Amino acid sequence: MNQIRATRLSHSAYRRRGWMDKWLPPGSRQRKIVLTVILPLIGLLLAVIIVDRIVMPIVTRQGAEFPLPDFSGQRLIEAQISLDNLGLGYQIASEEYSPGKAHGTVLSQYPVAGTKVKPGRDIKFVVSLGQKQVVIPNMAGQSVRQAMLELESAGLKLGEIAWAVSDTIPEKVVVFSYPYAGSEIPLGSYVNLMVNHGRASDFTYMPNVIGLTIDEAQKRLEDKALKLGLISYRTDENYLPETVLEQSESQGTELNIGTEIDLVVSSTE
């Protein structure tokens, strides 16, 4: 019986031997190398593959990239709606005055349109402050020349000059401007002046006729009690024929009524 038990015990012990025991006997050097070096390396490699192929795509949302639309020219509120739908945010990088672009219009963006982005990214915008507004200076009591310098310093232009007759205001000075002093208007706008003639009405001011046709220029000169003088021609293909290129008196110059104004007019020949 002892022999049989010994045989069963040996058989049972053999059955409990691990799958590795056949190739790597317990206590062998090879087994130690496999258990301490090779198996850990295999486990590490599997972990790297799992992280790279499964975990990282989830974290970085790989495959969710899409080309960024062009938001230039859109109002900021419109761009914000589109960004929300795409899962994007925005930051205003800077604001600039931009003639012809309404306040809040997107001027440029970073990244540029077409760049592939992922949800959650902030897009940086340069946004328009609109047309810069300037205050019309108070030119009442100044000469036309002084008023022109004031307008130029403010970034404005001299428009039409009309006249009034008053005994209580010094002659040849600005009575008021239109739009009125203190008003805010876009940079580069024209401002008209009302100038006092006093009792006399024997002088006028030179209007700007450059860029007008000869007929339009003549009518404007006659409106200011001036006459059309000598007309000379100069070849200039950048302008339509019969367009005024130069005038003999600069805009705003005080002139006697009936003064003749010479013009240089464009010609294609």
Give pTM, 2 decimals. 0.49
- pLDDT for 63: 52
pLDDT tier for residue 216 given thresholds of 50, 70 and 90: very high
Longest dimension (CA), the chain: 153
Pairwise pLDDT comparison (51 vs 149), residue with the higher score? 149
Q: In whole angstroms, what is the distance from residue 43 CA to residue 36 CA?
A: 11
- pLDDT for 152: 93
Q: What is the pLDDT of residues 21-57, one digit of tens each?
A: 666 677 677 777 777 777 778 888 888 788 777 766 5
Q: What is the pairing mode between strands 157-164 and 184-186?
A: unpaired
CATH number of 66-130: 3.30.10.20
Q: Where are the domains of the chain?
A: 17-60, 66-130, 134-267
- Chain mean position to CA 181: 31
Contact 106, 126 (CB under 8 A): yes
The answer on pLDDT for 5 being more than 70 is no
The answer on pLDDT for 62 being more than 60 is no
Pairwise pLDDT comparison (256 vs 59), residue with the higher score? 256
252, two tokens: 């705003």
- pLDDT for 20: 63
The answer on pLDDT for 261 being more than 60 is yes
Q: What is the pLDDT of residues 217-258, one digit of tens each?
A: 999 999 888 999 999 999 988 889 999 999 999 988 888 888
Pairwise pLDDT comparison (149 vs 198), residue with the higher score? 149
Pairwise pLDDT comparison (168 vs 9), residue with the higher score? 168
Please check whether the domain covering 134-267 is classified as CATH 3.30.10.20: yes
Contact 70, 83 (CB under 8 A): no
The reply to whether 134-267 shares the fold of 66-130 is yes
* C-alpha closest to that of 163 among 107, 214, 205, 103: 205
Q: Considering Cα of 50, then 54, then 58, then 61, what sign does the dihedral take?
A: positive
- pLDDT for 169: 76
Where does 133-245 have alpha helices with state H?
144-154, 214-223
Q: In whole angstroms, what is the distance from residue 65 CA to residue 55 CA?
A: 17
Contact 109, 123 (CB under 8 A): yes
Q: What is the pLDDT of residues 85-134, one digit of tens each?
A: 999 999 999 999 988 888 999 999 999 999 999 999 999 999 999 889 99
Q: What is the pLDDT of residues 7-24, one digit of tens each?
A: 444 444 444 556 666 666
* 63 phi and psi angles, rounded to 5 deg: 95, -5
Mean pLDDT calculated for residue range 263-269: 88
Where does 125-213 have alpha helices with state H?
144-154
What percentage of residues in the chain have a pLDDT greater than 70?
A: 85
User: Which residue type sits at 179?
Assistant: P
* C-alpha closest to that of 229 among 255, 248, 210, 207: 248
Lowest-pLDDT choice from 51-55, 75-79, 213-217, 257-261: 51-55
Helix (H) or strand (E) holding 238: none
The answer on pLDDT for 4 being more than 60 is no
Lowest-pLDDT choice from 108-117, 151-160, 193-202: 193-202
- pLDDT for 58: 60
